[in-house]
Amino acid sequence: CTDLDLEPQSSLTSDNAFASPDAYQAFLARVYAGLSVSGQQGPSGDPDIKGIDEGFSNYLRQYWKAQELTTDEAVIGWSDAGLSDYHDHDWTAANQFITALYNRVFYQISISNEFLQETTDEKLDSRAVGEPLRTQIRRFRAEARFLRALSYWHALDLFGPVPFYTETHPHGEAPDQASRQDVFAFVERELLAIEADLYAPRQGPYGRADRAAAWTLLAKLYLNAEVYTGQPRYGDCRVVCEQILGAGVYALTPVYLHLFRADNHTSPEIIFPITFDGLHTQTFGGMTFLTHAAVGGRMDAADYGIDGGWWGLRTTRALVERFPGGSATADGRATFYTDGQTLEIDALSDFTQGYALPKFTNRTAAGAAGSHATFPDTDFPFFRLADVYLMYAEAVVRGGGGDRVRALAYVNQLRERAYGTTEGTLTEADLTLAFLLDERSRELYWEGQRRTDLIRFGQFTTHGRWPWKGGVKEGKPTEAFRELFPLPASELLANPKLIQNPHY
């Protein structure tokens, strides 16, 4: 007997995995899950990314940290080696959090590619897949391409020139590096190409990417085009924003804070969420991190629908002071928790220094607790209408054409919701770039936008100062090259074709 072919029994081979028609949707779900969970066992177990504690390997958790801890909006008190590098702006290519973020972004691209590879016409023919499943799969493919474009956008935003590969790339080979311009062009091309195959705005099931999600991503790409490629595309940004707004299916959630509650899936404002659920979508990253890490000190975890604080995240006085009147502001968007907390931070590791900021909670708008006290039901509003309003306004102000009056009206809608009155209403003269940067922070703080915004406004490194920037209490300017993260050292070793970003 020399038979050595043993068929796996508790996992599936690619040959038999697609025997069930449900497999295609399950595989697509896995590509979505790449944003929310960390492996095939919830809340942790059988991880996708290895070499780091699984809870830390979560996409949203790492993306959020890179986008927020490097800015004036958030500080974290934990002593994990390499974590304070984000505040200090002195990260190296060996930083494990940057490595995990990079790995997560490219993992998402890889499984999106794998999905596309397994759903080509030839593959479907060979498995005799017929209608109507084939039509469904066509839409699945468009969504997978959207998710791939989303991650390539993150890649080019965070890392600049990155390895580039699509579903035709052979297994096992190291891909070539593409310039930021080329990746930009790819993302743009893809988003335009998949438009027709996606659901019309809000016509698909909640959680799925539709045309408006693709448009919002396109708008973000165009808004930052000058940073990414040197070529401003504000006009294109404005046009795409108009497309979204013209769809007429989105509306602001009447109460700002309800956007961040356990039942926010009912919000008419969210264009594309990362969904979480206390019972079905569990992770120690994602919203579990965002709700728990923000609680400590005298805060009662139960007030936020969770079972305990992780004593990590607070904010700096820069964000507090961005609201007129500081923590006593009339702006309803401010959610500072000040009891037992100091405004100033002398020691980053002390949770009670710096105001706490329980923006995301696991209680519903009506105050009911979520389905699980550890794993919130709250979804992360990745793209939402208010962001589109502000992008539209910024594109207009930056000379992208359009209508300043209309822009002002959008901004004022946000202001009125924030204040509950017209107290915060602006005049056209107030609509400046400086105002818009601040307003984006007031509206979108802790939503993973700040680093990109600061870079676009030239305030991230050599300009801009906030507590603990550069590792000193009062903050200091940092080097311009920090606007890009380094490619991880392990990646440079594995792929000798890659060239490291300057100065790393």
Partner 1 sequence: DSSFAPAHDDAAPPGATLPLREALLRLQTHFGIDILFEETALDRQEVPRDAFDAKQSVEQNLTTLLHATGLQFRKIKHNTFLIKELPAGDTLLAPHRPLFGAPVPNEDTAADKEPTALSETYAISGRVTDVRGMPLPGVNVWEKGTTNGTVTNREGRCSLPVSEGAVLVFSAVGFRPQEVRVANRASVDIALRENVLALNEVVVVGYGAQRKEDVTGVVETVEVQSFNQGAIVTPDQLISGKVAGVQITQNSGEPGGQTSVRIRGGTSINASNEPLYVIDGVPIDNAPFNPRGFTAGRNPLNALNPADIESFTVLKDASATAIYGSRGANGVILITTKKGHAGEDVRVHYDGWVSAATLARGASVLNAEQFSHLIREQAPERAPFIGTAATDWSRAIYQTAWGQNHALSLTGGGKHSGYRASVGFMDQNGILKTSRTQRTSVSLGLREDLLNDQLRLDLHLKGAYAYDWFAPLTAIGHAARFNPTQPVYDADSPWSGFYEEANDLAPKNPVAELALTRDQGQQYRSIGNLQLDYQLPWLTGLSAKLNVGYDLQNGDRKRLLPTTLRSQYTTHGEIRVADVTRTNKVLDTYLTYRRAFEAFQSTVEMTGGYSYQDFRNVYPEYLGFDFSSTLQNELGFDNPRYVRQTEHVTTVLANRLIAFFGRMNYTWKDRYLMTVTVRRDGSSRFGRSHRWGTFPSAAVGWRVNNEPFLAQATWLSTLKLRLGWGVTGNQDIPDYRFLPTYMPGDGRTQVQFGDEFVSTLRPNGYDPNLKWEATRSVNLGLEYGFWQNRLSGAVELYHKKTDDLLFEVAVPAGANLSNLILTNIGTVENRGLEFSLNSKVVARQRATWEVGLVAAYNHNQVLRLAGSVDPDFQGYPTGLIFGGTGNTVQILREGEPVNAFFVFRHKLDANGNPLPDGVDHNGDGVLNPADLYQDLNGDGLVNEQDRAPFHAPAPQMLYGLTSGGTVGPFDWSVTLRAQTGNYVYNNGASYAALSRITTEITPTNLPTSYAATQFLVPQYFSDRFVERASFVRLDNLTVGCNPLSRSELVQLRVYATAQNLFVLTPYSGPDPEIGNISGKTEEMRYGIDDALYPRARTFLLGIHLSF
What dihedral angle (degrees, nearest 10) is formed by the CA atoms of 329, 334, 338, 341?
A: -120
Residues 6+ apart with CB under 8 A from 230: 181
Residue 163 DSSP symbol: E
DSSP 8-state secondary structure symbol assigned to residue 429 = G
Integer CA distances (angstroms), 466 to 27, 191, 220, 320, 478, in order:
44, 36, 25, 11, 11
Given 205, 230, 246, 248, the residue binding partner 1 (CB under 8 A): 205
Q: Does 156 bind partner 1 (CB under 8 A)?
A: no
Contact pick of 181, 374, 413, 425 for partner 1 (by CB under 8 A): 374
Nearer to partner 1, 277 or 483 (CB): 277
Q: Does 230 bind partner 1 (CB under 8 A)?
A: no
The answer to whether 218 contacts partner 1 (rule: CB under 8 A) is no
User: Is the N-terminal amide bond of 486 cis, ω within 30° of 0?
Assistant: no
Instruction: Give long-range contacts, CB 8 A cutoff, 24+ apart: 181-188.
Output: 181/228, 181/229, 181/230, 183/152, 183/155, 183/156, 184/156, 184/221, 184/225, 184/228, 184/229, 186/149, 186/152, 187/149, 187/152, 187/153, 187/156, 187/217, 187/221, 188/218, 188/221
Q: Is 33 in the site for partner 1 (CB under 8 A)?
A: yes
- Say if residues 103 and 497 touch (Cβ distance below 8 Å): no
Residue (404 or 473) nearer to partner 1, CB: 473
Q: Does 475 bind partner 1 (CB under 8 A)?
A: no
- Closer by beta carbon to partner 1, 21 or else 324: 21
Query: Binding partner 1 by CB under 8 A: which of 19, 21, 40, 477?
Result: 40
From the CB of 418, what's the least distance to partner 1, in Å? Answer: 29
Binding positions for partner 1, 240-269, rule CB under 8 A: 265
Least Å from the CB of residue 439 to partner 1:
31
CA–CA distance, 228 with 218 (Å, rounded to integer): 13
Query: Among residues 222 and 276, whose Cβ is nearest to partner 1?
Result: 276
Of residues 117-136, those binding partner 1 (CB under 8 A): 118
Strand 270-274, strand 380-384: pairing: antiparallel
Among 13, 168, 422, 427, binds partner 1 (CB under 8 A): 13
Map the footprint of partner 1 across residues 61-120, applying CB under 8 A: 77-82, 90, 92-96, 102-103, 106-107, 109-111, 113-114, 118
The region, left, alpha or beta by phi > 0 then psi within -120 to 50, assigned to residue 464 is left
By the rule CB under 8 A, 173 interacts with partner 1: yes
Q: Which is nearer to partner 1, 253 or 281 (CB)?
A: 281
Query: Could you tell me which residues come within 8 angstroms of residue 147 by beta carbon, excluding any fewer than 6 positions away?
Result: 31, 32, 34, 35, 108, 112, 209
- The footprint of partner 1 on this chain (CB under 8 A) covers a number of residues equal to 108
Question: How far apart are CB 478 and partner 1 at their closest, in Å?
Answer: 14
d(C-alpha 377, C-alpha 41), whole Å: 18
Q: Considering only residues 383-442, where is the footprint of partner 1 by CB under 8 A?
A: none
User: Residue 403 in 3-state DSSP?
Assistant: coil
Return the residue of 347, 409, 433, 499 that touches partner 1, per CB under 8 A: 347
Q: Please report how close the Cβ of residue 165 comes to partner 1 at its closest, in angstroms.
A: 4
**Cα 160 to Cα 49, 233, 422, 441, distances in angstroms:** 22, 18, 42, 24
Nearer to partner 1, 24 or 260 (CB): 24
Which residues contact residue 429 at a Cβ distance below 8 angstroms, ignoring those fewer than 6 apart?
none
Compare residues 28 and 219 and give the one whose CB is closer to partner 1. 28
CB nearer to partner 1: pick between 53 and 339 = 53
- Mark the segment that binds partner 1 (CB under 8 A) among 168-176, 248-256, 332-340, 448-456: 168-176
Residues 286-315 that bind partner 1 (CB under 8 A): 296, 301, 307-311
- Residue 183 sits in the site that holds partner 1 (CB under 8 A): no
Name the residue nearer to partner 1 (CB basis): 79 or 422.
79
